[in-house]
Amino acid sequence: MSAPALSADDSGLYCAAGDFHIDPWRPVKRAIITHAHGDHARPGSDAYLCAEPGRLPLVLRVGDRVQTLAYGQQLTINDARVSLHPAGHVLGSAQVRVEVGGDVWVVSGDYKRQADPTCDPFEIVSCRVFISESTFGLPVYRWEPSGFVMNELVDWWQNNADAGRPSIVLSYVMGKTQRIMASLASLVDCEGRLFAHGALQKMNEAYRASSVYLPTAPNPLEVGDGYDFSKAIILAPPSVAGTPWMGRFKRGVTARASGWMRVRGRRRRLALDRGFVLSDHADWPGLLCTIFETKAERVVLTHGNSTVLARYLSERGLPAEALTLDRWGEQEEQE
Ligand SMILES: [Zn+2]
Ligand SMILES: [Zn+2]
């Protein structure tokens, strides 16, 4: 039996045949990055490789030592053949297919199966071993279709506007924010009513420069004193909750858009007016159908609730194990 194509070392997932890491949390010689979220893309490595549409967001994180590969294009790195395939998670997110001596492994990175106007849809890649994320790997996590949730959000905004109250939506800097912006623009005219906190502007620009259509959303601090936000919707990172920044929006109501909003306690603890269950990760049915569709003979689970899902799969005859990669456990990044 030859050595496994991928194994965990103290920097992350390592491919010995190719001498590279996937999403390492320590600086390494060569890093393949599934996507530019902070828990997957860490600065300091000598060289980075990502899918072509993900280049600009990754440069914001790690600087410009970034090479790219088009989705589906093959690259030989030492004794490994590597290709990247859409993961449907955020702009440029990729699954990494690694083939060593005819043995095929796929690392999913973060992924979702729902439609998202800001990135390419998830693609099934057959493999013998599938390393899947399992952030929302409990049966309680089931998402409504995105269109349904976005219509709820528009209704909430409209009701607030009728009452003369600004709507503030807390959403993660990369991915969720742009998904909401693009989806809103497809449903209503946002002109002059949509704003984005200053901390979101750079990533919005990176998306626009990558040919993703986003509606105009100026920084609310730059529209002049006395501006009337009573009919506006303002996107902001979750970190602004409870800070003086919120004071600018008199009688503002706050919502958060995240998979975690499925858990009622979280919404209450964060003192939110509304929680919209909108996630960039696969839900429980999404994880299951993906895992079975890859036709993998073995499944390795990372992130989140991996033990429950591993047991569920094993009981159905699919060998599965949980792999704890501690440094990936930053849940704030897992929307
Ligand atoms: Zn992510
Ligand atoms: Zn992640």
Establish if 265 belongs to a structural domain.
yes
The pLDDT, as a whole number, for residue 309 is 96
Domain region containing 256: 146-276
Ligand 1 centroid to 333 CA: how many Å? 7
Single residue among 229, 258, 276 that ends a domain in this structure: 276
pLDDT digits (tens, 9 = 90+) for 144-176: 999 999 999 999 999 999 999 999 999 999 999
CATH code, domain with 51 = 3.60.15.10
| Residue partners of 221: CB distance under 8 A and separation at least 6 | 198, 248
185 Cα–ligand 1 center, Å: 23
Residue 292: inside a domain: yes
Shared domain for 173 and 264, answered yes or no, is: yes
Q: Measured in angstroms, how far is the CA atom of residue 110 from the centroid of ligand 1?
A: 5
Same domain as 312, residue 216: no
Between the CA of 40 and the centroid of ligand 2 the distance, in Å, is 6
Q: Which residue, 231, 252, 276, sits at the end of a domain?
A: 276
Supply φ then ψ for residue 43, to 5 degrees: -75, 165
The total of other beta-carbon atoms located within 10 Å of residue 56's CB is 19
Has residue 101 been placed in a domain?
A: yes
The pLDDT tens digits of the residues spanning 190-234 come to 999 999 999 999 999 999 999 999 999 999 999 987 899 999 999
Instruction: Measure 158 CA to ligand 1 centroid, in angstroms.
Output: 30
- What's the 319 CA to ligand 2 centre distance in angstroms? 23
Instruction: State the pTM of this model.
Output: 0.95
Question: Helix (H, G, I), strand (E, B), or coil: what is residue 215?
Answer: coil
How many domains is the chain built from?
Answer: 2
204 by DSSP, 3-state: which?
helix
Q: 78 C-alpha vs ligand 2 centroid, how far in Å?
A: 27
* Mean pLDDT of successive 10-residue stretches along the chain, which has 335 residues: 86 97 96 96 97 98 97 98 98 98 98 97 98 95 96 98 98 97 97 97 98 97 90 96 91 93 77 92 98 98 90 96 67 51
Residues, CB within 5 angstroms of ligand 2 (ion): 39, 110
Q: How many Å lie between the centroid of ligand 1 and the Cα of residue 116?
A: 14
CA distance 254 to 231: 14
Whose atoms come closest to the Cα of 39: which ligand?
2
- Mark whether 176 and 230 lie in a shared domain: yes
